[in-house]
Amino acid sequence: MNRLKTVGTSSKRVEGMDKLNGISMYPQDIFMQDELIGLTIRSEIAHANFKANYKKALKLDGVVDILTSKDVSKNEHGVLFKDHQVFCDGTVKRVGDPIALIIAENLEIAKEASKLVQIDYTDLPGVFSLEESLKNETIIHNETNVIAEIKIDKGQVDFDKCDFVVEETFEVPSVEHAFLQPEASIAYLEGERVVVVSSTQYPHWDQIEIAEAIGLDTSKVKVINATVGGAFGGREDITSQIHAAIGALKIKRPIKIIYSREESVLAHSKRHAMEMKMKMGANREGKLIALKGEILADTGAYASWAPNILRKACVHASGPYEIPNVYIEGKSLYTNNPFAGAMRGFGATQVAVAYEQLIDMLAEKMGISNYELRLRNVLKVGSKTATSQVMYNSVPIEKCLRIAEEELNKLRGNDKPNVLTGYGLALSIYGTGYGNGFPDVSNNVAKINEDGLIEISSGFTEVGQGAKTVMAQIASEVFNTDPSKIVINCENTDNTPDTGTAAASRQTYNTGNAVKKSCESLKDKILDYFVNKFELNNKIGIEIENEEVYLKTLPSKRMLFSELSNLCLSGEGTFTAQTTTLDDCGQGAPYWPYGFNALGVKVEIDPKSGHINVVDGVFVQDVGKAINPRQIEGQMDGGFVMGLGYALYEDLNIKNGHIINKKFSNYILPTSKDMPTLKKIIVEDPEETGPYGAKGIGESVTIPVAPAILNAIFDASGVRFTKLPVTPVEFMKKFGG
């Protein structure tokens, strides 16, 4: 195999300088002639019937219109089930449900008008806990509050056959994505077509949802994805896009909607809160024998991806371990809480809080080290998961674990006086992609553009994860040029093929494969042309380099790509991941590939205040093959800090469906001062189906963080925390200060 030239280098982020110069356009940065401002009226009650009166508001000078359910052609949307209404038409099911959109000449007028809107609510019984939801006394949609049930049933779970057993119930909360760019959209007309400029994870899906709601053919809707200021799953469910489109179509002026921070927190999904009742057993030899679990997930008022998230949670509940007997039952439930959907890890983050603490608890009970117990049970090549899926290649979890243990041991010692010091270890597993046999398709078209440069077209999204740079590196590797020479066309639904969503850690693997295939196909066509042009016998000994083609033995026979500009040469690449549907016992090959990691952390706790400080750490990440090592390090730091917030700080404080903490002054995110300088180690074990061996890591990097910190807290204090976040107050309550 030829040595790789750009894949594997820390090539500079292709759109990075535009972001640093402040010229990258997020939708809120667009100003249009004659634009109007849209302001959403949202429910202030979690479950109620309502009557609204807009007369006074409409009379206010500068108010152009107020859009309601009457203005929607098909008043429903949703990524999986159409259970959201574009504007609620008489019943609200959560605080923050959209009721109407005030359209005014400016924001001040729109705000003034919002105070004149009269909404009379008639309260309906609210369901705010899993327990209440299960009773099915108040039904939120259709016939039952149970939106999904999943069972994983392998072998025979019998704890009598185990020498050591631990059990515990873990509770993880609903948390907020807190991407820094609040949602914004601007919609306008181009002839009979509606153009919606927004920040989304999936422009082609938005296009379909907008078209359905406004009653136009999909071809009449163009979505332009502006720069996306972070997403983490929170931009998968549509928010302002349909509202703006309806306004533009009705009023025939550009409609701009920009959410404030508080509205952003109200508008989009949250991470699923889960309750996980788990039991794990091992034999005397330190082999895990059985795992049993009941997982309940609160999806709030709308389904979003609830069944898929529940599936990912249940499949991953056994962690990166080979356990012969597993029985997991999961249910996802509607409540009148804020709706939950995709968030980095997609169910796999929640269950790691359980399985990685259970392993530590079991090791303690057995009197062996937590490292040793993990080592005896981690998946290897040939191992079978809880769904009986064979891990047939790229399973370097043992290597990750060994490195993490060695590096964590180097951090030991020098413990400060008067401070509780502890060390924690956690592993994780994450299966890429939509999964469960669903066609997980990526598409790309590669061509030579008019400037003689390679242009790749695919509707993938640069959410900040570095997809543009990764795709440019993959294409530049095929064409032996610099990544900066690759022209990327990914923002406009008119001239890109649908490549699926920027989610499920699937872009590097799926779209990366499609980009590579399309570029290889185009390369073949370029070589054919060259062979014909110079009347060569075959393609042997022809080099492509820096947008030029030449014969290596006679370099005077050469041709510039620009010569090919007018020939419309293009290559198409499609890649579909290989997964199967789970059977009734939850057996199958639901995801591929799987990514792994190991994390060791050192924490210091002030026993007087309960303040917990993560002071050091070592993060070992399996990547298959690193396309861009620096970007991977950036993901590892970023995943860590999100997990740190989950473990110690982030609390929406939801009371009767109301989010109390919806500002950054009370929803506490980690700052630079909370972040330790991690040692980051990348482990390469190329995945044979990945582009150059690469796997996605965007979600994987968040998963082991909270359990590693919780294990370290136990090591420091002797107190096991089963509920997040462990704030100083919560710590002192259990520590007994």
Partner 1 sequence: MIINTTINGEKIEFDVSPNRRLIDFLREDLHLTGTKEGCSEGECGTCTVLLDGEAVDSCLVMAFQIDGKSVTTIEATDDDLSIIKETFLEEGAPQCGYCMPGMVLSAKGLLDKNKKPNRDDVKEAISGNLCRCTGYTLIEDAIIKSSEKLGDDNE
Is residue 482 classed as helix, strand or coil in its secondary structure?
coil
Judged by beta carbon, residue 174 or residue 579, the one nearer partner 1 is 174
Judged by beta carbon, residue 466 or residue 588, the one nearer partner 1 is 466
Tell me how far, at minimum, the Cβ of 663 lies from partner 1, in Å. Answer: 6
Q: How many residues bind partner 1 (CB under 8 A)?
A: 57
Considering the rule CB under 8 A, would residue 553 count as an interface residue with partner 1? no
Contact with partner 1 (CB under 8 A) among 38, 424, 466, 707: 466
φ and ψ at 516, to 5 degrees?
Answer: -65, -45
User: Scanning the structure block, which residue is given the tokens 């002026």?
Assistant: 253
Give which of 440, 441, 449, 469 is closest to 522, Cα–Cα. 449
Judged by beta carbon, residue 317 or residue 623, the one nearer partner 1 is 623
Binding mask 221-250 for partner 1 (x = CB under 8 A): ------xxxxxx------------------
Residues 6+ apart with CB under 8 A from 48: 91, 92, 121, 122, 123, 124
Considering the rule CB under 8 A, would residue 31 count as an interface residue with partner 1? yes
User: Scanning the structure block, which residue is given the tokens 């107050």?
Assistant: 729
Distance CA 553, CA 149 (A): 65
Distance CA 560, CA 547 (A): 6
Binding mask 168-207 for partner 1 (x = CB under 8 A): ---------xxxxxx-------------------------
Considering the rule CB under 8 A, would residue 592 count as an interface residue with partner 1? no
Judged by beta carbon, residue 140 or residue 175, the one nearer partner 1 is 175
Binding mask 632-661 for partner 1 (x = CB under 8 A): -xx-xxxxxxx-------------------
Beta-carbon neighbour count of residue 495 at 10 Å? 12
Altogether, the residues listed in the chain come to a count of 737
Residue 1 burial by CB count (10 A; 0-12/13-18/19+): exposed, middle or buried?
Answer: exposed
Tell me how far, at minimum, the Cβ of 180 lies from partner 1, in Å. Answer: 4
Q: Are 243 and 67 in contact (CB under 8 A)?
A: yes
- Within residues 348-377, the interface with partner 1 by CB under 8 A covers none
Considering the rule CB under 8 A, would residue 24 count as an interface residue with partner 1? yes
Considering the rule CB under 8 A, would residue 111 count as an interface residue with partner 1? no
Contact with partner 1 (CB under 8 A) among 2, 21, 556, 566: 21
Considering the rule CB under 8 A, would residue 532 count as an interface residue with partner 1? no
Distance CA 94, CA 697 (A): 33
Considering the rule CB under 8 A, would residue 261 count as an interface residue with partner 1? yes
Judged by beta carbon, residue 185 or residue 336, the one nearer partner 1 is 185
Q: Are 493 and 194 in contact (CB under 8 A)?
A: no
Considering the rule CB under 8 A, would residue 463 count as an interface residue with partner 1? yes
Considering the rule CB under 8 A, would residue 23 count as an interface residue with partner 1? yes
Q: How far is CA 697 from CA 345, 595, 597, in A?
A: 10, 7, 10
- Specify which residues 152 forms β-bridges with: 328
| Half-sphere exposure of residue 693: CA atoms within 13 angstroms, side-chain side | 18
Judged by beta carbon, residue 593 or residue 704, the one nearer partner 1 is 704
Considering the rule CB under 8 A, would residue 9 count as an interface residue with partner 1? no
Tell me how far, at minimum, the Cβ of 184 lies from partner 1, in Å. Answer: 10
Beta-carbon neighbour count of residue 258 at 10 Å? 19
Distance CA 55, CA 66 (A): 10
Piece in contact with partner 1 (CB under 8 A), picked from 11-19, 112-120, 144-152, 585-593: 11-19
Distance CA 426, CA 353 (A): 9
Distance CA 199, CA 171 (A): 32
Considering the rule CB under 8 A, would residue 271 count as an interface residue with partner 1? no
- Within residues 661-680, the interface with partner 1 by CB under 8 A covers 663-665, 669, 671-673, 675, 677-678
Distance CA 327, CA 152 (A): 6
Binding mask 313-342 for partner 1 (x = CB under 8 A): ------------------------------
Give which of 160, 156, 59 is closest to 117, Cα–Cα. 59
Give which of 233, 361, 330 is closest to 586, Cα–Cα. 330
Considering the rule CB under 8 A, would residue 556 count as an interface residue with partner 1? no
User: Scanning the structure block, which residue is given the tokens 């025979």?
Assistant: 156
User: Scanning the structure block, which residue is given the tokens 């163009």?
Assistant: 222
Piece in contact with partner 1 (CB under 8 A), picked from 363-371, 430-438, 458-466, 506-514: 458-466
Considering the rule CB under 8 A, would residue 161 count as an interface residue with partner 1? no
Judged by beta carbon, residue 80 or residue 675, the one nearer partner 1 is 675
Tell me how far, at minimum, the Cβ of 676 lies from partner 1, in Å. Answer: 9
Q: Are 544 and 479 in contact (CB under 8 A)?
A: yes
Residue type, 548: E
Tell me how far, at minimum, the Cβ of 127 lies from partner 1, in Å. Answer: 31
Residues of the shown chain interacting with partner 1 in the complex, contacts defined by CB under 8 A = 10, 12-13, 15-26, 28-29, 31, 177-182, 227-232, 260-261, 463-466, 630-631, 633-634, 636-642, 663-665, 669, 671-673, 675, 677-678
